[in-house]
Structure formats: structure tokens, C-alpha cells
Amino acid sequence: MDYTDRLLHLALNDTSAGEHGFEPEVLDAKVVALVRLAALIAIGGAVPTYGAEVDNAVSAGATTAEIVDVLAAAIPIVGLPSVVAAAPKVALGLGYDPFDPELTAGS
């Protein structure tokens, strides 16, 4: 199914397209994981979901710097308060405790 058919099925909420119509076809796994992380930031997801999406991104080859860049890139769209709320959840997903007094800026 080409992209125009997929777009039409999505626009019409046509479930006859099945899973193939609703899964990315041309984006690589890393990009998909980063996009999903950005979407999670936008909706304000729960901590366990951030952990899973961060794990997916890292497994797909994303670096921690790329994951943090997703937060920065989301600011103009979702606003700073949403990103500030998401940052500790992303940090926990990366294995950092953002409230640990030993964690300092720049380390």
C-alpha cells in the first residue's frame, strides 16, 4: 500500500487497512522510537511508559544526547511546562535520578 492509500485509510479511520496501515513503513526503528517519545512528551505519559520508550530508543541506536534533544525539540510545540514535566521521567528512563543531589548540571 503506498503512502497516499495509507493516508486515506488513516484519515477515514478505516480499520480494514489492518496493522500494515497503521505501522511506519519507511522510518527506521530509531526515528520511530524518537517520534514516539516526542508524542509521549506531548500527551504527558506515565513514568513506566517513558521507561519503555526510552529503552526502545536506546535499543534502536539512539544516544542519550539524541533523547535529550527530543525534549529540546518539543519545546516550541508542547511548551516548556510539558517538557519540564517530562524531563524527570526521561531521566529516570535513562537511569538517572534527577533528584539525586550528586547529579549536577553538566555531568
Task: Report the pLDDT value the prediction gives residue 22, as an integer from 0 to 100.
Answer: 76
Phi and psi angles of residue 92, each rounded to the nearest 5 degrees, phi first = -60, -40
Q: Which residues of the chain have pLDDT under 50?
A: 106-107
Task: Report the pLDDT value the prediction gives residue 45, as an integer from 0 to 100.
Answer: 92
Q: What angle do CA 41, 45, 50 make, to 5 degrees?
A: 80
Residue 27 and residue 69 in contact, taking contact as beta carbons nearer than 8 Å: no
Task: Report the pLDDT value the prediction gives residue 69, as an integer from 0 to 100.
Answer: 98
Residue 92 and residue 56 in contact, taking contact as beta carbons nearer than 8 Å: no
Buried b (16+ CB within 10 A) or exposed e, 63-89: eeebbeebbeebeeebeeebbeebeeb
DSSP state, 23?
S
